[in-house]
Amino acid sequence: MNRESLSEKLRAISVAGKSAQELYTEISEACMSECGCAVRKLSERRAYYFSIEYLMGRMFYNNLMALGVLNEARKIFAEKGFDLNRFEDVEDAALGNGGLGRLAACYLDSATALGYPLCGFGIRYRYGLFRQRFENGRQIEEADDWLKTWGDPWSVRRADEAIGVTFADMVVTAVPYDMPIFGKTVNTLRLFQAEGSPEAEKISEYLYPADDTEEGKLLRIRQEYFFSAAAVGQLVQRYVRKNGRQFERFPDFHVFQLNDTHAVFAVAEFLRLLTNVYGLTFARAVGIAQRTFRYTNHTILPEALESWDMRLVERILPEIAQVLKGLHLYSKRKWERGGCPADEMRQMAVIRGKYFSMANVAVYISEKVNGVAAIHTKILEEQLFGAAYRQMPEKFLNVTNGVTPRRWLMLCNEELSAFYDKRLGYGWRTDLRALRGLNCDDADDLAAFAEIKRQKKAQLAAYILSREGVALLPDAVYVAQVKRLHEYKRQLMTAFAILYLYFDLKEGKLPDFTPTVFIFGAKAAGGYRRAKAVIKFINDIACLVNGDEEVNTRLQVVFVQNYDVSYAEKIIPGTDVSLQVSTAGFEASGTGNMKFMMNGAVTLGTMDGANIEIVEASGGRNNYIFGARVGEIEEIKKYYDPHEAVARNLKLKRVVDTLTDGTFQDEGGELKEIYSSLFEQTYNSPDHYLVLYDLPKYAEALLRANADYRDQTVFAQKQLLNATRSAFFSSDRAIEEYAKKIWKIEKLL
């Protein structure tokens, strides 16, 4: 790419009489014109990432930075009287829900920055996840029309490459939109838009439509098959045009990475094409597929592993249903010939009862299966896919997640990045391991870092004031829990912990308490009633605490509305303490924990997911760990009774009783339902996620961190040690591992 050429194009853009939208489009088009200028070489083997969500965030600043002209562009347009910061109003393309989509975005960024050939496939949703606002503390969902104001100048419609996707009742046209990903080279994210009829267009209308009805389930199946079939169909067609039907060499050129189970219909479509269209035997097609596919598991939650009712698949995808049935029989015969025990065959079966197990399809077909944190992979091998691991141990390996340091440090924390430049030179920008060269004992460096943290907190406070109308407490500890709202992530436990602190402050039991602000950000899925009730509960607590003059100068709670990537870019650099408090064994990895670490927040959390590796990297004394460990939970559940726990601990009883004792209004009965979930048989047991079991230790950990913060030099050292030990959690490292251990691809440059 020619940086000088792009700079000249930017200088040629006039601002006279133009709206911000017009300038946004012209600047974007200037950047897009450089796509064809990337240095390329032919690569025999490419990796293709199949993901139902991509949470890219705003592309404007990230692309200018990737092209090496961000600061120059700011200067060019400032001289013309236009502030590029006006583009902070550009809507995020919220085509993802959380960590899964954000990880996909990070991996595309890192692969391109390093020069690896990785292209993404997904869906171009007409509306993103949803826009969130609160009304009387309750979440209200509004359609996220992300294209309405600013359009999408970063994507190019490729109508000439449209492909038909066939269902039993209709044929849908999948029209690709290509988004370039800039770096050392240019890779592509190809998102398919469904066209052809009003019914067809529903397929790419909304991300994750509610699937609590049969029609909703059918729409989810259509979505998953739609983008998988379109991607596989195009790649197979392209291969046949060049190589004919010599499919034995297909895996030499293609690696298909399934980002969780949403894309597993790609396996069935690949087998269907090779057998029904190109005439290969089923055994030969399976052998080729087993050299082509790879599978990343992101969760152990049963509801996220996806088992589709055979009857529904047969209704709209009869050929695919037949392929899956064939794979079930084929794999069963293979296991039988190998002497596999019957109970293990049942665990690994493609058909379990009346359902297709998409995870079992992925595990059987994929050459490699990876978890996303050391503890998560261990759980996959010993529990979730235990039978498969015993039969095929060579398939399994771990690649701990990572986040891109470009967006999550260089872009969102320019002050900290400039500090590193001054102390270490620029080498850290291409190899984060260089940060370990910083002397975290140096008084001047600690003071400079602490000042940067104060600046970022001030910027965050100003942003929240402008967005929420809430003035944050000055000189307070900023504690944040921002992530998707789910019971296992235990935002409810944080709510109870705040009440612990609130009642103690009211009674004068915490005379040395450092003023603290709790910041929440989360969206609850539209049909997830209990999660939405937790949002209401936290907002009720915020009203109680913030309105109480006896405590509101020392304790404050704010739940920001419509948390997204852009909000995260403000919250993460301005946070002192990162709350990562999932029940041990439930969070596969997490990526928010890594972003906070990279920006110098200490982790206060459980030994779950990548928290374990974060603590190993930065040291136990520089973080705050509490709660039951993975190896303890099964034993705990044998004797744990939440009724007894509350009876023994009056402080615990007091905070839990606020759900039912009239402290908060509960016209809809949501709080009573939360209370019931803690004491009645929910999922497999009362208090399934051990909220009340871990809560007292959680409150103690919060108070330890609060006390330590009083010595701000010591606390700043803990934070800086976290930041400078974060290299392992760069997605650059993760992509290098995928490239070498899983994909076997070479750099283009």
Q: In this predicted structure, which of 69-73, 220-224, 360-364 has the lowest mean pLDDT?
A: 69-73
How far apart are the C-alpha atoms of 373 and 593, rounded to whole Å? 12
Q: What is the pLDDT of residues 702-724, one digit of tens each?
A: 999 999 999 999 999 999 999 99
Task: Give the pLDDT of residue 39.
Answer: 43
Task: Give the pLDDT of residue 38.
Answer: 47
451, two tokens: 């000042």
Rg of the chain's alpha carbons, rounded to an integer? 26
Burial 348-381, CB ≥16 within 10 A → b, else e? bbbbeeebbbbbbbbbbbbbbbbbbbbbbbebbb
Domain boundaries, the chain: 1-37+59-89, 38-57+92-125+158-401+735-743, 438-729
Average pLDDT, the chain: 95
Task: Give the pLDDT of residue 36.
Answer: 60
Q: What is the pLDDT of residues 162-174, one digit of tens each?
A: 999 999 999 999 9
Task: Give the pLDDT of residue 37.
Answer: 47
Residue 536 predicted with pLDDT over 90: yes
The pLDDT > 70 percentage for the chain reads 99
How far apart are the C-alpha atoms of 27 and 24, rounded to whole Å? 5
| CATH class for the domain made up of 438-729 | alpha beta
Fold (CATH) for 38-57+92-125+158-401+735-743: Rossmann fold (3.40.50)
Name the residue with higher pLDDT: 182 or 209.
182
Task: Give the pLDDT of residue 357.
Answer: 97
Residue 35 predicted with pLDDT over 80: no
Task: Give the pLDDT of residue 208.
Answer: 83
Residue 304 predicted with pLDDT over 80: no
Q: In this predicted structure, which of 55-69, 506-520, 533-547, 551-565 has the lowest mean pLDDT?
A: 55-69
Residue 560 predicted with pLDDT over 60: yes
Catalytically active residues, by annotation: 298, 483-484, 489, 591, 595
Task: Give the pLDDT of residue 43.
Answer: 55
Which residue has 């992925």 as its token pair? Answer: 362
Q: Does 38-57+92-125+158-401+735-743 match 438-729 in CATH topology?
A: yes
Q: Tell me if 74 sits within 8 A of 25, measured CB to CB.
A: no
Residue 450 predicted with pLDDT over 90: yes
Task: Give the pLDDT of residue 301.
Answer: 83
- Greatest CA span in the chain, whole angstroms? 79
503 HSE (CA, 13 A, CB side): 16
Q: Tell me if 495 sits within 8 A of 534, measured CB to CB.
A: yes
Q: Tell me if 26 sits within 8 A of 16, measured CB to CB.
A: no
Strand partners, 48: 119, 256
Residue 732 predicted with pLDDT over 90: yes
Q: What is the pLDDT of residues 479-493, one digit of tens each?
A: 999 999 999 999 999
Q: How far is CA 281 from CA 207, 237, 337, 466, 553, in A?
A: 36, 19, 19, 63, 73
